[in-house]
Amino acid sequence: METIHRVFVGDSRDLSAVADDSVELVVTSPPYPMIEMWDDLFADLDPAVGDALESGDGRVAFEAMHAQLDRVWDELERVLVDGGIACINVGDATRSIDDSFRVYPNHARVLEAFESRGFDPLPDVLWRKPTNSAAKFMGSGTLPPNAYVTLEHEYVLVFRNGKESRSFEPRADRRYEAAYFWEERNRWFTDVWTDVRGELQTLEFEGSEELRERSAAYPFEIPYRLICMYSAYGDTVLDPFWGTGTTTLAAMCAGRGSVGYELEEAFLEAFDRQIDDVPGISRSIGRARLEAHRSFVEEYRAEGSTLEYDAEYYDTSVVTKMERSIRLREVESIETVADGYRVEHEPLSDGDE
Ligand SMILES: C[S@@+](CC[C@H](N)C(=O)[O-])C[C@H]1O[C@@H](n2cnc3c(N)ncnc32)[C@H](O)[C@@H]1O
């Protein structure tokens, strides 16, 4: 199986290189309005943002920043197929402007923007960021009533483009082979994720930590899970705020194609320097999933439960009928092509070779 991954250095308020109805899933994390690290970026996109911040008008700045994101959401409605899913990772911002502290509810504003564009909201996920607990309450003291709760969660807002779900031909292999294990389903479809850090590998190189901080990269598990949950093999995943390319890496590992837009060329260059690591990463992720499944099977049996079915492609049992056809993918080879990469995928074998 072959997938194509295109990455453009450019402004995603105009996605004209992406055809109408050509993307099955969006997974992205925009710059969060009213988080200081993104002030300059938003002010470059619209000078009114800088003016509002300077004059101390937080509400106007918040709205002007979201107006820039709205232009990207307009494009998503066009490029996403009917029934396609958009997963938007966003956190709220707390900030003092002119000595007045408040929360700027980015998730609520993004939700409103999608609904007004004809997307239907689906149940969302909260994921809990591990934070440095020693420092987190500093300054809030222990006197009522003027301390504030520390925000330690972000949202993955989930929307469907239009009213109807996508349909597939009966018994479509690319859907059935992309099934996930029952115990993965139980973890992934829980609405609070507390286990997303460091579970799976990502691209690592000298300076990668600094680069990931500068782009506020999300952990690999976030896009990887969402891609496995909401798309089938061979689908195309769009990330209009590509950053260090975590979504594309996850799409490659998960046997999906991708397309990304990013303003900063340096991020694309860094991704390209590590591209040879992707086959090894994809294989270790597939192997880790199989291994975790086998441990689950052992524990499940040790508790006295019976597994009714055998997997077709792996020497293991599974809980449900639908899991029998699971066939994980690994990246066999990657070739650089115009605007991106062509990736050859093979089914992940069962052995240790
Ligand atoms: C929160 S970061 C995304 C991080 C990414 N998920 C990762 O794992 O590295 C947002 C990214 O969007 C980019 N960006 C912001 N506005 C953009 C725009 N209008 N067009 C394209 N890229 C944009 C920023 O440069 C930044 O890298």
pLDDT tens digits along 246-281: 999 999 999 999 999 999 999 999 999 999 999 999
> Strand, coil or helix: what is 71?
helix
**CB atoms inside a 10 Å sphere around CB 326:** 23
CA gap 28, 226 in Å, rounded: 10
DSSP secondary structure code for residue 274 in this structure: T
Which residue, chain included where needed, has tokens 């050859």? 344
Rounded to the nearest angstrom, the gap between the alpha carbon of residue 201 and the centroid of all alpha carbons in its chain is: 15
Position 41 pLDDT exceeds 70: yes
Question: Is the beta carbon of 214 within 6 A of some atom in ligand 1?
Answer: no
User: Which has the higher per-residue pLDDT, 319 or 131?
Assistant: 319
CA gap 8, 240 in Å, rounded: 9
CA gap 125, 186 in Å, rounded: 13
Looking at the chain, list the stretches that DSSP marks H as alpha helix, in order from N- to C-terminal side: 39-45, 47-54, 58-79, 106-116, 173-176, 182-188, 208-214, 221-230, 246-253, 265-273, 278-302
Q: CA triplet 193, 196, 201: central angle to 5 degrees? A: 160
Check: CB of residue 89 under 8 Å from CB of residue 220.
no
- Omega before 240 within 30 of 0, i.e. cis: no
Question: Is the beta carbon of 46 within 6 A of some atom in ligand 1?
Answer: no
Ligand 1 center from residue 241 Cα (angstroms):
4
Question: Is the beta carbon of 258 within 6 A of some atom in ligand 1?
Answer: no
Question: Is the beta carbon of 243 within 6 A of some atom in ligand 1?
Answer: yes
The ligand 1 atom at the shortest distance from the C-alpha of residue 212 is 9
Q: CA triplet 89, 276, 273: central angle to 5 degrees? A: 70
By CB atoms closer than 10 A (0-12, 13-18, 19+), residue 128 is middle
Which residue, chain included where needed, has tokens 């090894």? 280
Per-residue model confidence (pLDDT) at position 76: 98
CA gap 47, 60 in Å, rounded: 12
Question: Is the beta carbon of 202 within 6 A of some atom in ligand 1?
Answer: no
Rounded to the nearest angstrom, the gap between the alpha carbon of residue 346 and the centroid of all alpha carbons in its chain is: 23
* Torsion sign over Cα 80, 12, 126, 61: negative
What phi, psi does 183 have (nearest 5°)? Answer: -75, -30
Question: Is the beta carbon of 216 within 6 A of some atom in ligand 1?
Answer: yes
In the chain, count H helices and then E strands.
Answer: 11, 14
- Ligand 1: which of 40, 129, 263 to mutate, most ligand atoms within 8 Å of CB? 263
pTM of the model: 0.96
Rounded to the nearest integer, the mean pLDDT of the chain is: 94
| pLDDT tens-place string over residues 120-170 | 999 999 999 766 565 666 566 788 888 888 899 999 999 999 999 999 999
Mean pLDDT of 202-219: 78
Angle between helices 47-54 and 58-79 (to 10 degrees): 160
CA gap 176, 108 in Å, rounded: 35
| pLDDT tens-place string over residues 85-116 | 999 999 999 999 999 999 999 999 999 999 99
Residue 352 pLDDT level (bands cut at 50, 70, 90)? low
CA gap 336, 4 in Å, rounded: 10
Question: Is the beta carbon of 217 within 6 A of some atom in ligand 1?
Answer: yes
